[in-house]
Amino acid sequence: MIILVLNCGSSSAKYQVYDWEAKDVLAVGVVEKVTFPGSWIEHKPKGKAEFTLKQDCPTHTDAVDLIIKTLMDKEHGVLSDMSLIKAVGHRVLHGGDKFTKSVIVDDNALEVFEKVKDLGPLHNPANIQGIIAAKKVLPNVPQCAIMDTAWHQTMSPESFLYALPYEWYEKYSVRRYGFHGTSFLYVAKRAAVLLGKDPLKTNLIICHIGNGSSMCCVKDGCSFDTTMGLTPLEGLIMGTRSGDADCAIPFYVMRKTGLSAADMEQALNKKSGLLGITGKYQDRRDISNAADEGDQRAQLAQEMEGYRVRKYIGAYFAALGGKCDALIFTAGVGEFSNLMRKKFTQGLDAIGMTLDDEKNDMAHTRNAEFLISTGNSKIPIYVIPTDEELVMTEDAYALMKGTYDVHTKFTYSFQSKDYVNKARAEGLKKDLAKNPDLKKIIALPR
């Protein structure tokens, strides 16, 4: 039985193919520059050479069709028959306040997604197009929407409401929704395993730091607060997003420059953040190289990003009343940048979080979970590689079988102490061959 997972962005379509019986990933890939000339597919099948093909995909339907053809290809494919695909899981950024968990997509769900797409104008239209495209290519297969906002539906009004006219919430659903939900769910459940605790009695501060970044305050195993808001723009400094800023700034600059509302939305989402500070870079590696060469704005960007994360860690530590079981880093930067993890934790000794520099410098792979705090740190600091695709896969399978429920009433495979990600386990063998000392920092269940 095969589960296909699709994550359709505005100009891309990422995918993963999962063999449910073997509990193994058969292929991953992405179609880039969808809707633009010169698009191509990058396909990575298990046990075969990586494959790249240039082919124009003017629509997401064309992209999904190219994915299916590639999966069925005699030389590069991993499937012998399309009928093997029993469910498709789709990442959907925003469901407003209508969805508290993953759902099988029917006409009503699609109608709701259309109604709330203005809440996620950069993501939701592409998510919807991906679903429609998959329904055309695989008409008899259940299409499952895995909601990025669902994890955060446990927030209470004091966390999710803004101090704005209350009728905006009543009429237009203006509130904090939060995102990166599948990532936070996976990491929170894995953290509970490592801590040896009941997942619903675990308090955590999770930092999902990538090009898009957010943090989650987890209280008793549920989302209590998060940094992103109505849209993914609020909160941390990101690759091109501003994060927190004075609400009056857009109006001030619009009056000064004549920028339209659309221009300002583009500037805050696409021209701000690390790119806005440095004027050149949004990738942390480029920023790090420039900072090492003396670029003062690159150095400033690093310090600003580090400070913003530390400030939220302190705020969430207070929100938990000091009862925090672990601090966790995940996603691209959180998993790979020892430099930024050091900046994120600078001075946190005062609240019981002490980074071990040597352990931190070693933690540089997605193939294992690491404990990077010192032995006397009151609160452990972990690096837990996220696996959003696995959450989507298991949700889609459970929806198809009729066994799915909200995460507080549902158990995932990765909540077991014996859980093994086969692909990562193979990768770890290679990592350990290169650096046997990695074994010293691998986190094991307590």
pLDDT at residue 35 in the model: 86
Q: SS3 of 281, please? A: coil
In words, the CATH class of domain 197-383 is alpha beta
Instruction: Give the closest residue to 99 by CA, choosing from 60, 133, 127.
Output: 127
Q: What is the mean pLDDT of residues 183-204?
A: 98
Q: What is the mean pLDDT of residues 307-317?
A: 98
CATH of 2-147, one of 3.40.50.2300, 3.50.50.60, 3.30.420.40, 3.40.718.10: 3.30.420.40
Q: What is the mean pLDDT of the chain?
A: 94
Distance CA 420, CA 130 (A): 30
pLDDT at residue 76 in the model: 93
The pLDDT confidence band at residue 45, using thresholds 50, 70 and 90, is: very high
Q: What is the mean pLDDT of residues 25-33?
A: 94
The pLDDT confidence band at residue 114, using thresholds 50, 70 and 90, is: confident
Structure pTM? 0.94
pLDDT at 12 over 90: no
pLDDT at 171 over 80: yes
Distance CA 277, CA 269 (A): 13
Distance CA 417, CA 409 (A): 19
pLDDT at 116 over 90: no
Q: Which residues are catalytic?
A: 148
pLDDT at 120 over 80: no
pLDDT at residue 97 in the model: 80
pLDDT at 122 over 80: no
CA distances from 394 to 154, 208, 224, 405, 426 (A): 21, 21, 24, 11, 22
pLDDT at residue 94 in the model: 85
Q: What is the mean pLDDT of residues 407-435?
A: 95
pLDDT at 10 over 80: no
What is the tens place of the pLDDT at every residue in 198-249? Answer: 999 999 999 999 989 999 999 999 999 999 999 999 999 999 999 999 999 9
pLDDT at residue 418 in the model: 94
Look at the chain and count its residues: 446
- Neighbouring residues of 13: CB distance < 8 A, sequence distance ≥ 6: 6, 7, 30, 31, 34, 57, 60, 63, 64, 67, 130
List, by residue range, all CATH 3.30.420.40 domains of the chain: 2-147, 197-383
The pLDDT confidence band at residue 126, using thresholds 50, 70 and 90, is: confident
Percentage with pLDDT > 90 across the chain: 85
The pLDDT confidence band at residue 186, using thresholds 50, 70 and 90, is: very high
96 sits in the region (left: phi over 0; alpha: psi -120 to 50; else beta) called left
